[in-house]
Amino acid sequence: MKTGFFLFAACAALAAVQAQETTNSTVKYIDYSSLKKFTRAPTTQQSSTSGSQQKQREQAETPAPTRVPVPTRPDPRATEAPTPAPTLAPTPAPTPAPTPDPGPWEAKWIDHDQVKPFAQPEPVTISEKAAVKFKPQIHITNGCHPYPAVNEAGETSGGLKTKGAPSAGCKGSGWGSQVYGRSTWVRGVWAIMYSWYFPKDSPSSGLGHRHDWEHVIVWIDNPDIKNPKILAVTPSAHSGYSKQVPPSADCVDGTSVKVKYESKWPVNHALDSTTEGGDFQDLITWDQLSDNARRAMNGVGWGKANTPFNDGNFQPKLDKAWPF
């Protein structure tokens, strides 16, 4: 009996202790329904506004990031331009071989009336313009008229025998005539040599010789001034010269000196100044001749006559004709 009583009492005490602990741990809840709506304190709002403005300023000061273009993938269907070939350095021109010496000129004679003259070119250089401006006129008193001596191919006139009248067979070429020119400075004076060729020089039948060359030298002060002045004239005469310093006004027509081709029997023909007007011929200068024509003029032998303006005779004749 006692044992059961003690067990009962112990269980009752334990139950009382558990009930006390349960009462002490009960959670109490607050009823917020009766409270007014919560309002944020002004200080907190200002702080938040200030922070927002600061953030906006930082965003304004911070530059926007640069947009990096996204590479596009090439269309495989498009045709790519071919890579150009590298530019090569130009190939230097080969050094020309030296021109072989053609050797002595072999004369090519043709009939005197088959030689075609050179047409007078348009003057370009100072010397060419002066040569045309002062081109002389020649009056034929007796004997042959002037003929072309050489053509473009270098073929030369065969001339005429000294038979018949002084002008027999040589009264003028059907192709036209020619006067040859060459000029240079001589001791400060400009000299222009004008030369004519005649198929024969025959005062009368049987006298004289095949071929004849005559020339006149016109001396001027300067070809490169507006109005050059004729200082002297020296016509050729029997391997020498007659000299007019200055020429008579009656023997000059503007800028053209007047000369005559004449023979006083039994002496051969020569040039001299004259008051009579004469004829003009197409002028061709030494530099305007073809290469073969110049070679012919330098290489052909004309018997008792000689080419006054070729390389071998030009300067010596100028020195001999010096009129001052």
pLDDT band at 102 (very low <50, low <70, confident <90, very high): confident
Residue 66: the pLDDT is 61
> Nearest-CA neighbor of 315 among 218, 195, 150, 183?
183
Taking only the tens place, the pLDDT of each residue in 27-67 is: 444 454 554 544 454 444 444 445 555 555 555 555 555 66
Residue 124: the pLDDT is 97
Tell me the β-bridge partners of 150.
Answer: 156
27 CB-near residues (< 8 Å, 6+ apart): none
Taking only the tens place, the pLDDT of each residue in 113-136 is: 999 999 999 999 999 999 999 999
182 CB-near residues (< 8 Å, 6+ apart): 192, 193, 195, 285, 286, 309, 314
Q: Which residue has the tokens 């052909």?
A: 300
**Where in the chain are the domains?**
109-321
Helix, strand, or coil here: 59?
A: helix
Helix, strand, or coil here: 237?
A: strand
Taking only the tens place, the pLDDT of each residue in 150-163 is: 999 999 999 999 99
Helices and strands of the chain, counted as H and E runs:
5, 12
> Which phi and psi angles does 211 have, rounded to 5°?
70, 145
pLDDT band at 320 (very low <50, low <70, confident <90, very high): very high
> Nearest-CA neighbor of 144 among 49, 214, 75?
214
pLDDT band at 257 (very low <50, low <70, confident <90, very high): very high
Residue 84: the pLDDT is 67
- The one-letter amino acid at 231: L
> Which phi and psi angles does 130 have, rounded to 5°?
-65, -40
Taking only the tens place, the pLDDT of each residue in 212-248 is: 999 999 999 999 999 999 999 999 998 899 999 999 9
Q: Given a cut of 80, is residue 100 above it in pLDDT? A: no
106 CB-near residues (< 8 Å, 6+ apart): none
240 CB-near residues (< 8 Å, 6+ apart): 320
